[in-house]
């Protein structure tokens, strides 16, 4: 049966004199996706389950003011110039040292004080695609080079959200963009108990080893026969109670290289039947279980429809190059040079299973 896809644009507020746009795709009988030009954020993603019940499965806020004032966890945001961490908040390119913000201890996280998640992007509609673009000036947040960046969102009538990040620079610089959506396939308001019931598969045989501050050492840890091993479907709650109480780790994807998309991960929620598959051309994926959302003893972060978001209430799959890659020659490079184009593609594919059975990962082939 043919699924009708519609797209509409509306105003979502004003930030620093710039109008923030909200774009919504609707698929008849399928997904409904909304993104906003502030932070190039995925604001809402509604997906039906096996009973036909449609729920929003990403954490976020209903209004712009909340994103501006309270989005410290980067809910749904585009992260840049450099996602994840840079050790000691400095790096060297061609013998010159660049210092960036120490915004997580003495290290650098997610692009700095005013990263790409906190600016209003220019909006261009191209058919059923929206292109957000941003001009980052030389030494913005300490990074060298004028950087022209775009994030293209496309929703297709087979319930796929396609994202493409592109960037060019005038000087050698560090670039590692990602999307930081927080998913809970039971619903954005379902909390930790339902998160523990999710089943996870990750196409990786190792993770990057880190120190106590989550900075990579340059070494790798094989995941086989450890709580980090998601090569076969595993209930998340079991993995988290087997000696690893939380996840915030970069998995090294078994991939075919940057020119094609490879299966990265799949997550399912048995009681609703919903599942998510992730494909990307990036070498890594940060698997994160919302460890820094408020604990049960703290006031919740109030999100959409008054939902209280807390620790372990969602998971992230942030496709990326490896964290702190600028300091490790054995990692895939995060350096972009003039004349080259940074290109990062990721596809989120949603669906549901009618039968009560374990979700199986698709054959690991490029798409």
Distances from the Cα of 115 to the Cα of 24, 28, 80, 137, angstroms: 24, 36, 6, 12
What is the distance between the alpha carbons of residues 15 and 113, in angstroms, rounded to a whole number? 17
Q: Which pLDDT value is given to residue 367? A: 43
Residue 78, in any domain of the structure: yes
CATH number at residue 298: 2.70.98.10
Structural domain harbouring 46: 5-352
Residue 363, in any domain of the structure: no
Residue 38, in any domain of the structure: yes
pLDDT at 219 over 50: yes
Tell me if 310 is assigned to a ligand binding site: no
Q: What is the mean pLDDT of the chain?
A: 94
Contact 287, 227 (CB under 8 A): no
Q: Calculate mean pLDDT across residues 210-237.
A: 95
Residues noted as catalytic: 180, 318
Residue 234, in any domain of the structure: yes
Confidence of residue 29 (pLDDT cuts 50, 70, 90): confident
Residue 364, in any domain of the structure: no
If one counts the domains in the chain, the total is 1
Tell me if 49 is assigned to a ligand binding site: no
Tell me if 212 is assigned to a ligand binding site: no
Q: What is the pLDDT of residues 30-53, one digit of tens each?
A: 999 999 999 999 999 999 999 999
pLDDT at 174 over 70: yes
**Host H or E run for residue 239:** helix 236-241
Shortest CA distance to 211 belongs to which of 321, 74, 105, 330? 105
Burial of 305 (0-12, 13-18, 19+ CB in 10 A): exposed
Q: Calculate mean pLDDT across residues 163-180.
A: 98
What is the distance between the alpha carbons of residues 213 and 11, in angstroms, rounded to a whole number? 40
Residue 366, in any domain of the structure: no
Q: With DSSP H G I counted as helix, E B as strand and the rest as coil, what are the percentages for the chain, rounded to 5?
A: 10, 45, 45
Residue 367, in any domain of the structure: no
Tell me if 329 is assigned to a ligand binding site: no
Tell me if 238 is assigned to a ligand binding site: no
pLDDT at 358 over 90: no
Q: What is the pLDDT of residues 303-343, one digit of tens each?
A: 999 999 999 999 999 999 999 999 999 999 999 999 999 99
Contact 210, 216 (CB under 8 A): yes
Residue 244, in any domain of the structure: yes
């Amino acid at each position: 049966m043919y699924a009708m896809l519609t797209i509409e644009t509306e105003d979502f507020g004003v930030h620093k004199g710039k109008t923030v746009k909200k774009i919504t795709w609707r698929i008849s009988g399928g997904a409904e996706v909304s993104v906003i030009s502030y932070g190039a954020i995925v604001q809402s993603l509604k997906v039906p389950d096996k009973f036909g019940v449609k729920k929003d499965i990403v954490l976020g806020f209903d209004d712009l003011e909340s994103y501006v004032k309270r989005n410290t966890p980067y809910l749904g945001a585009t992260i840049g110039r450099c996602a994840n961490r840079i050790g000691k908040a400095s790096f060297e390119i061609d013998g010159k040292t660049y210092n960036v913000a120490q915004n997580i201890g003495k290290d650098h996280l997610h692009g700095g004080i005013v990263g790409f998640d906190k600016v209003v992007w220019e909006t261009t509609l191209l058919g059923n695609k929206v292109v957000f673009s941003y001009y980052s000036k030389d030494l913005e947040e300490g990074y060298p080079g004028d950087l022209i960046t775009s994030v293209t969102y496309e929703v297709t009538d087979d319930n796929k959200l396609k994202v493409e990040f592109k960037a060019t620079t005038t000087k050698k610089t560090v670039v590692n963009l990602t999307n930081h959506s927080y998913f809970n396939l039971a619903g954005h308001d379902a909390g930790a108990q339902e998160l523990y019931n999710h089943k996870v598969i990750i196409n990786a045989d190792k993770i990057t080893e880190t120190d106590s501050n989550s900075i990579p050492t340059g070494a790798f840890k094989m995941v086989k026969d450890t709580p980090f091993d998601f090569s076969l479907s595993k209930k998340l709650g079991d993995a988290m109670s087997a000696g690893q109480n939380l996840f915030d780790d970069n998995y090294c994807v078994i991939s075919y290289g940057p020119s094609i998309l490879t299966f990265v991960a799949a997550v399912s929620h048995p009681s609703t039947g919903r599942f998510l598959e992730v494909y990307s051309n990036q070498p890594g994926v940060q698997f994160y279980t919302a460890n820094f959302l408020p604990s049960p003893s703290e006031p919740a972060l109030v999100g959409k429809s008054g939902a209280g978001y807390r620790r372990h209430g969602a998971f992230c799959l942030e496709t990326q190059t490896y964290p702190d890659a600028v300091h490790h020659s054995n990692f895939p490079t995060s350096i972009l040079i003039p004349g080259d184009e940074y290109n990062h593609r990721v596809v989120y594919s949603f669906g549901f299973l009618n039968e009560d059975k374990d979700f199986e990962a698709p054959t690991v082939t490029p798409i």
